[in-house]
């Protein structure tokens, strides 16, 4: 068994220690004679796992009892529909900020359910900037404001949490959740697909202020109504139990690492090293304005894109996997989530320096 350094944007690297524990328990969970996968979600053994996972997440993020934490399915793409179906009342308007491809998808989907106001967009800068909040054209009384704090594809991350007064702030945190401390109390709702910083694909976390529950109309499917899941502890139907268990192992691992504050220090150091190296080179470049560079997703291009294929093939051979940029933008992208160790970034920089020396 050999583990490479994995820079995949998602489904992304998981901590080796988590996979080792899962491996050990997969056929027989703690002497019970069966796998977690083979157990009813209503079995006390699983219920304990599920509750501990929720509590560990609450501890890690400082989530108060004012919020429900839901373990759902369907990915962020299902949230693009659920948010307006649950929070956008008849005749109301929702504000959206457009800072990249995931924002755009959320905006497009929301358009099916009511009036959407795109209050700001950085499409003119090819999503290399975050529009300053002073420039946002907010509605008079929006049902909520939606934004994507970290755009996985563009590698663009907000350096601030929007100030929106009483308006519920809704954030797609899929690729930034748990990477740094965040004041949950400033949000009406946070959601995240699991497959970047939480666990395997097929699990979606929703953290929603309880006063925002119960607004969905009768036409909303039970499974798409947050109230259904809040009322049933995310067990209205069979949840994705194995993914929930793995997420719990990741939360335990994060606590052992010193929690999110400690991860933030490591993540900042990893990102600064990599951006510092890129900025110090004429061979590599990153287009994003410095203040809005993502700690999690670092896209970069080679000055001569004819070398892209060689770069990727040699990186792969060196055990540096999945550095290809998103198919919609090309170039390279190193996703350096919590589970990607600092040594991986060091190894990447050493490889990039060597590649430049040989090809620059």
List the catalytic residues.
Answer: 102, 172, 196
Which residue among 55, 77, 117, 359 contacts a copy of itself (CB under 8 A)? 77
Q: Write each residue from 87 to 116 as x if it is in contact with a copy of itself (CB under 8 A), else as -, in one continuous string.
A: ----------------------x--xx---
Q: Read off the tokens for 79.
A: 């949230």
Label the pairing between strands 204-209 and 67-72: antiparallel
Which residue among 86, 175, 286, 322 contacts a copy of itself (CB under 8 A)? 322
Helix (H) or strand (E) holding 94: strand 93-98
- Alpha-carbon gap, residue 225 to 218, rounded angstroms: 10
Which residue among 47, 161, 201, 312 contacts a copy of itself (CB under 8 A)? 201
Which among 36-44, 135-143, 288-296, 301-309 is the span making contact with a copy of itself, rule CB under 8 A?
36-44
Closest Cα to residue 93, out of 141, 48, 133?
Answer: 141
Helix (H) or strand (E) holding 134: none
Q: Read off the tokens for 135.
A: 């420039």
Which among 12-20, 123-131, 293-301, 307-315 is the span making contact with a copy of itself, rule CB under 8 A?
12-20
If the CB atoms of residues 30 and 141 are measured against a copy of itself, the closer one turns out to be 30
Which among 10-18, 137-145, 176-184, 351-359 is the span making contact with a copy of itself, rule CB under 8 A?
10-18
Asked whether 68 and 230 are in contact (CB, 8 A), the reply is: yes
Asked whether 178 and 311 are in contact (CB, 8 A), the reply is: no
- Alpha-carbon gap, residue 171 to 190, rounded angstroms: 5
Q: Which residues pair with 299 in a beta bridge?
A: 333
Asked whether 7 and 335 are in contact (CB, 8 A), the reply is: yes
Binding residues for L-glutamate: 42
Tokens 């693009």 found at: 80
Which residue among 47, 58, 59, 73 contacts a copy of itself (CB under 8 A)? 73
Residue 23: phi and psi, rounded to 5, are -60, -45
Contacting a copy of itself within 241-280 (CB under 8 A): 241-243, 246
Closest Cα to residue 93, out of 37, 146, 52?
Answer: 146
Contacting a copy of itself within 215-234 (CB under 8 A): 218-224
If the CB atoms of residues 179 and 228 are measured against a copy of itself, the closer one turns out to be 228
- Alpha-carbon gap, residue 349 to 345, rounded angstroms: 6
Which among 18-26, 161-169, 278-286, 302-310 is the span making contact with a copy of itself, rule CB under 8 A?
18-26
Helix (H) or strand (E) holding 255: helix 241-256
If the CB atoms of residues 136 and 251 are measured against a copy of itself, the closer one turns out to be 251
- 343 touches a copy of itself (CB under 8 A): no
Q: Which residues bind a copy of itself (CB under 8 A)?
A: 1-4, 6, 8-14, 16, 19-20, 22-23, 26-28, 31-35, 37-43, 73-78, 80-81, 85, 109, 112-113, 193, 195, 200-203, 218-224, 236-243, 246, 319, 321-322, 327
């Amino acid at each position: 068994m050999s583990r490479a350094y994995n820079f995949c944007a998602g489904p992304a690297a998981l901590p080796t220690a988590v996979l080792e524990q899962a491996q050990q328990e997969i056929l027989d969970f703690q002497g019970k004679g069966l796998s977690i996968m083979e157990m009813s979600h209503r079995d006390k053994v699983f219920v304990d796992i599920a509750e501990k996972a929720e509590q560990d997440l609450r501890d890690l993020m400082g989530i108060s009892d004012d919020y429900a934490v839901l373990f759902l399915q369907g990915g962020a793409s299902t949230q693009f529909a659920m948010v307006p179906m649950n929070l956008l009342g008849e005749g109301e308007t929702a504000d959206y900020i457009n800072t990249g491809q995931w924002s755009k998808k959320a905006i497009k989907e929301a358009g099916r359910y009511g009036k959407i106001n795109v209050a700001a967009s950085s499409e003119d800068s090819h999503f290399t900037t975050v529009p300053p909040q002073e420039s946002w054209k907010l509605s008079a009384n929006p049902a909520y404001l939606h934004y994507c704090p970290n755009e996985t594809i563009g590698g663009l991350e907000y350096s601030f949490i929007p100030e929106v007064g009483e308006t519920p702030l809704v954030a797609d945190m899929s690729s930034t959740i748990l990477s740094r401390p965040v004041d949950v109390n400033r949000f009406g709702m946070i959601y995240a697909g699991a497959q970047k910083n939480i666990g395997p694909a097929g699990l979606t976390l929703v953290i929603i202020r309880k006063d925002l529950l119960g607004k969905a109309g009768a036409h909303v499917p039970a499974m798409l109504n947050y109230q259904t899941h809040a009322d049933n502890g995310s067990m209205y139907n069979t949840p994705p139990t194995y993914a929930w268990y793995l997420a719990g192992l990741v939360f335990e691992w994060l606590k052992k690492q010193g929690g999110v504050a400690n991860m933030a220090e490591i993540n900042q150091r990893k990102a600064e090293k990599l951006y510092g190296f890129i900025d110090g080179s004429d061979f590599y470049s990153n287009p994003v304005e410095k203040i809005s560079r993502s700690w999690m997703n670092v896209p970069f291009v080679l000055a001569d894109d004819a070398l892209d294929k060689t770069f990727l093939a040699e990186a792969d051979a060196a055990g540096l996997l999945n550095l290809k940029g998103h198919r919609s933008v090309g170039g390279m992208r190193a996703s350096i989530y919590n589970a990607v160790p600092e040594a991986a970034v060091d190894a990447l920089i050493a490889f990039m320096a060597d590649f430049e020396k040989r090809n620059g």
